[in-house]
Amino acid sequence: MQQIAPNDEHYLVYVQKENADKASLNCSHLIEQAIDENGPYSLEDILYELREGKAQLWLVMSNRQIKAIVVTVIKEFPQAKVCSVWLCAGSEVQKWLHLLTQIEDWAKAHKCHAISVSGRSGWEKILADYQKKNVILEKILR
C-alpha cells in the first residue's frame, strides 16, 4: 500500500509483514540508528517483530529513496488500543512530518483510541498537536 500526498515530493509507504526482510535491506541503517537512541534491541529483534506482524514498518520516500523510517506498535489495554510510534529515524523531518496524519488515519482504522510517540525531547517541540502525558526516567544498573 502506497499513499502519496498530492504535489508532495515525500510520501509514505506501509510495508506488509511479508516484505519486511526485503524492505529492511534498504533501511537497516535507519532502523539501527533508531535502536541506538531507543533501547536494548537488536536489528534482528525488530525484524522479528515486523515479520510476525507485531510491529509495522513505514518508509518515508522521496525521489525513490528512503528518507526516514517509522516503526509502530499497537498496544492493547483493557479499555483501549493505542498506536505507539516505537522507532523513528531519518532526515528531512520537517518536510515529511505532516505524513504522520496518514499513520494516525491507519491507527483509527485499526480501532486505536490514541497515538503515542516516545523519543527524545525534541519531538515535543515539533509535534505541537500532541500532549505530553508523562516522562520516562532511566537508570543504568551496573
Instruction: Give the pTM.
Output: 0.87
**pLDDT higher than threshold 60 for residue 3:** no
Separation of alpha carbons 37 and 34, rounded Å: 5
pLDDT in tens, 90-111: 998 999 999 999 999 999 999 9
The three-class DSSP label of residue 23 is: helix
Tens of pLDDT along 40-67? 899 999 999 999 999 999 999 999 999 9
Task: Quickly state the pLDDT bin for 5 (edges 50, 70, 90).
Answer: very low
Q: Do 124 and 132 form a contact (C-beta atoms < 8 A)? A: yes
SS3 101: helix
For 109-133, how does the pLDDT look when each residue is reduced to its tens digit (9 = 90+)? 999 999 999 888 888 888 888 888 8
pLDDT of amino acid 2: 46
Q: What tens digit of pLDDT does each residue of 11-34 get?
A: 999 999 999 999 999 999 999 999
Spatial separation of the C-alpha atoms in residues 69 and 38, rounded to whole Å: 14
Check residue 38 and give its pLDDT: 62
> 14's torsion region: left (phi>0), alpha (psi -120 to 50) or beta?
beta
Look at residue 112 in the predicted model and tell me its pLDDT: 96
